[in-house]
Amino acid sequence: MALALKDRQHHTYGDYLGWKDDLRYELINGNAYLMPTAHDLPHQDVAGEIYCQTAHALSGQPYRVFIGPLDVRLPKKNETDNQIDTVVQPDVLVVCDSNKLDKRGVRGAPDWIVEVLSPSTAGHDQIKKRNLYERHGVREYWLVHPVDRMLTVYRLQYGEYGKPELSQLEGETPVGILPEIVIRWDELAARLPKDY
């Protein structure tokens, strides 16, 4: 994994808010992980397209779709914001409960999260964040692999992600927990560079 630790101290959201540098971090159980300051064009294209299709599908619905970077705070219990030691910035997310939204972002698990894999963050998204999202109750978690043109879908059942569903980025894929959202892949996949 190419993500570098800021240091080996235990950090909280209170610390995170005080960092003045222009770098982006995620906190997972108090560990600070340096995130890319910019993604490549295919990553942005995939995240942007999923966001646009989702926003269109949810027009008039009470649910909210967001595109990263946006702070998602995942408290363990009733921690104050300053005590929370896990803050992530998913690429695309949907929140069904508006009580989880505030001026800083999201407090609590989104219902659906999409991470677009990049070479520098793939292990982080596939292992650390998958386990984290399962533990915090993210109902559906998608990993989009632009290089391999593959989709991995995890759905929460009885508090655990079962066997992932794998498919190619072709045709369309409905979101299991929000069937009004259907992601259409063909036009997007055709735009991805062949040598990516």
pLDDT at site 104: 95
Q: What CATH code is carried by the domain that includes residue 149?
A: 3.90.1570.10
| pLDDT band at 123; cut points 50, 70, 90 | confident
A 10 A CB-CB count for 133 gives 25
Residue 118 located in a structural domain: yes
> Max CA-CA distance within the chain?
48
Confidence band for 2, pLDDT divided at 50, 70 and 90: very low
User: What confidence tier does 6 reach under pLDDT thresholds 50, 70, 90?
Assistant: low
The answer to whether residue 38 scores a pLDDT higher than 80 is no
How many structural domains are present in the chain? 1
- Encode pLDDT of 131-174 as tens digits: 999 999 999 999 999 989 999 999 999 999 999 999 999 999 99
Torsion, Cα 102 106 108 112, to 10 degrees, reads 140
Examine residue 117 and state whether it is found in any structural domain, yes or no. yes
Domain that includes residue 173, residue range: 40-191
Residue 88 in domain: yes
Confidence of residue 14 (pLDDT cuts 50, 70, 90): very high
